[in-house]
Amino acid sequence: MQDLLANPLRDWITALIIVAVVFAVLLLGRMFVARRLKRSLVPASQLRALLTDLVRRTRLYFMVVIALWAGSLELTRSEHHEHVWRLIVLVVVLLQVGLWAGGLVGFWTERIADHKAADAGTRMTINVVGIAARVLLWIVVLLVILDNLGINITALVTGLGIGGIAIALAVQNILGDLFAALSIVLDKPIVVGDAISVGEVSGTVLHIGLKSTRLRANTGELVIISNGDLLKSRIRNFRGQERRMVALKLGIAYGTPADKLAKVPEIIRSAAAKEKNVTFDRSNFTSFDYVGLTTDSLYYVTNSSYAEYMDIQQRINLDILRQLDAESIDIAHQLPIVANPPAVQPQ
């Protein structure tokens, strides 16, 4: 029996030697790379972690099939056997590529979670997106495999598309909130612990979830806002605010002498100067308004919490009021509103 399946025995021996050599090279290469990455004196890095994970995901059946394919090149095969063998190699390669791509997606999600996630809710959002990406990846791999196996996937893809559209329409609000959560995680307009103002609500961010964000309002209640509505709103974030501006508009009553009116800016300046966390900018008599003589002042409260900021304003306002009383300077009062003004009689 010198010929076996239309191939001489010598070709079979050569093919087996090639299979053994290629498999040994692949196996030893994987072991060598894994050990070098593990024992490397170079400090741990993200690239090393990625390469280690990819090597770990390289499957034994993939190396076996590659070795068999390399050995089969020395053999003469019928058209049918060639077609079957090509499909087997293609399926195995696609499965291995899917594993590597899944590793890349996992590495990407973990990296974003480490750099962007401030709490467990944010990390969960990133993990859910990573799982969805891996599911989509394996659906694509499966469709490519079925297509190469000769199965008509057009109807399947159409069905998946119609089903996906129906599901998307049914859960469009949930998907909108999910993508909004991803946008919040990546762009970071807010993080847990930020003091923010959204519409008429002001408070501190407690939790950023997949569907909603929770705030502890300054008035004490828990406010839950969907992530989609949150991103559609104008958000005022006070994180890292080094100073807060205070624009003080003070009206002085008409009839106040000019020399006393000239003291008003100095009174405001001295009241602001008594606070160590206040930077005074300006104070000027600016206009003759309907109600009174208006003085515009501007100062900044630096490096303080919101509660301290409000306390400082109160102390400054009380000090201004005391000094105005001491100088007998009256604050302007709006004229009373007459509910039923008398009718004007025609002349």
Q: How far is CA 256 from CA 168, 186, 283, in A?
A: 69, 58, 18
With 0.85 as the threshold, say if the pTM is over it: no
- Measured from the Cβ of residue 18, the count of other Cβ atoms closer than 10 Å reads 18
Long-range (24+ apart) CB contacts under 8 A made by 72-76 are: 72/15, 73/18, 74/11, 74/14, 74/15, 74/18, 75/5, 75/7, 75/11, 75/12, 75/15, 76/6, 76/7, 76/11
Q: Report residue 271's pLDDT band, with 50, 70 and 90 as the boundaries.
A: very high
For residue 344, the model assigns a pLDDT of: 39
pLDDT at residue 39 greater than cutoff 60: yes
DSSP track, 259-328: HHHTHHHHHHHHHHHT-TTEEEEEEEEEEE-SSSEEEEEEEEEES--HHHHHHHHHHHHHHHHHHHHHTT
pLDDT at residue 126 greater than cutoff 90: no
Contacts of 118 (CB under 8 A, 6+ apart): 191, 192, 193, 208
User: How many CA atoms within 13 Å lie on the side-chain side of 207?
Assistant: 12
Q: Report residue 304's pLDDT band, with 50, 70 and 90 as the boundaries.
A: low
Query: From CA 173, how far away is CA 210, in angstroms rounded?
Result: 12
Q: At what angle do helices 263-273 and 306-326 cross, to 10 degrees?
A: 140
Residue (of 240, 230, 187) closest to 207 by Cα position: 230
For residue 11, the model assigns a pLDDT of: 80
> Higher pLDDT residue, 344 or 135?
135
